[in-house]
Amino acid sequence: MEDAVLIIDDDRELCDLLAQYLQLQGFHVHCIHDGAQALAHLQQNQYAVLVLDIMLPGMQGLDVLRKLRATDSTPVLMLTARGEDTDRIIGLELGADDYLPKPCNPRELAARLRAILRRAGSTHAHAARPVEICAGETVLNSATRSASHKGQALALTSAEFSLLRLLMENSGDVVDKETLSQEALGRPLSAYDRSIDVHISKIRRKLADAGSDNLIISVRGLGYQFAVEQQR
């Protein structure tokens, strides 16, 4: 289902609360309280987005995310302990799309999930955009949500794809972090939020693995710029 959500959290009371609210908002919600069980369940079932608690009994949430990302690109929103910046950064590095600190506001969770689903699966929201964008040897296709560089596929998460698309659409120009957060992640930039920086760092590594390590430039105090590499 386009709006099917799996919540993986051992706090049953919180799961019930979030599930009730999300269902009222039109989501279809299923809850699992164990990481290993969730991985087994996901081998047979598909969801539009996952809500994953970092602190799980047995297999920790980061281990679940690491194993999941080996074979699955389903968008993931992490629930983290308030103030645990290290866990958030590691989670983003492992391929999470977004995070919320616990205890979280169900309304904000619903808004974040909608933002993730919009950028993960809806092309109609940006119908005016070209289906294919080419910048130098980097090619991005909005219809298939795929990207490649020098003919090599770039395995991008939903958040990474949206950020790269926005940078390529503005190739040669600096895009500030506020714009990147609002238009690519679907939420305002908050103080001390390093999500953009971590996602950009991952995109850079993937471009470097494909043969170019100088395409996304940091402009101190402003934002990031996609600089087209001269073909030789």
Q: Assess whether 182 and 215 both reside in one domain.
A: yes
**CATH number for the domain harbouring residue 117:** 3.40.50.2300
Residue 231 within any structural domain of the chain: no
Distance CA 143, CA 149 (A): 17
In a domain, 186, yes or no: yes
Same domain, 112 and 17: yes
In a structure prediction context, what are the per-residue pLDDT tens digits for the chain, which is 232 residues long? 668 999 999 999 999 999 999 999 999 999 999 999 999 999 999 999 999 999 998 899 999 999 999 888 899 999 988 667 888 899 999 999 999 998 889 999 999 999 898 877 644 444 456 689 999 899 999 888 899 999 999 999 989 999 999 999 999 999 999 999 999 888 888 888 889 999 999 999 999 999 888 899 999 888 999 997 655 4
Domain's final residue, options 84, 103, 121: 121
pLDDT number for residue 106: 94
In a domain, 232, yes or no: no
- Residue 208: inside a domain, yes or no? yes
9 and 115 share a domain?
A: yes
Phi/psi-derived region of residue 134, left when phi > 0, alpha when psi is between -120 and 50, beta in every other case: beta
Indicate if 135 and 190 belong to the same structural domain.
Answer: yes
* Length of the chain (residues): 232
160 shares its domain with 178: yes
Domain count across the chain: 2
Domain boundary among 99, 121, 143: 121
- Domain boundary (101, 121, 141) is at 121
**12 in the same domain as 99:** yes
Distance between CA atoms of 137 and 47, rounded to whole angstroms? Answer: 33
Instruction: Please answer whether residues 82 and 101 qualify as being in contact, where contact means their C-beta atoms are separated by less than 8 angstroms.
Output: yes
Is residue 21, in this structure, part of any structural domain at all? yes
Same domain, 167 and 103: no
Instruction: Name 53's Cβ contacts closer than 8 Å, sequence gap at least 6.
Output: 8, 9, 10, 11, 61, 78, 79, 102
Look at residue 190 in the predicted model and tell me its pLDDT: 84
Domain match, 100 and 189 both: no
| C-alpha closest to that of 15 among 6, 3, 27 | 6
The CATH number assigned to the domain holding 202 equals 1.10.10.10
Are residues 11 and 82 located together in one domain of the fold?
Answer: yes
Whole-number pLDDT of residue 193 = 84
How many CB atoms lie under 10 A from the CB of residue 155? 13
Say yes or no: 109 and 44 in one domain: yes
Full domain range(s) for residue 59: 4-121
Q: Based on the domain organization, do 139 and 214 belong to the same domain?
A: yes
Cα 137 to Cα 145: distance, rounded to the nearest angstrom: 17
**Same domain (yes/no): 82, 147:** no
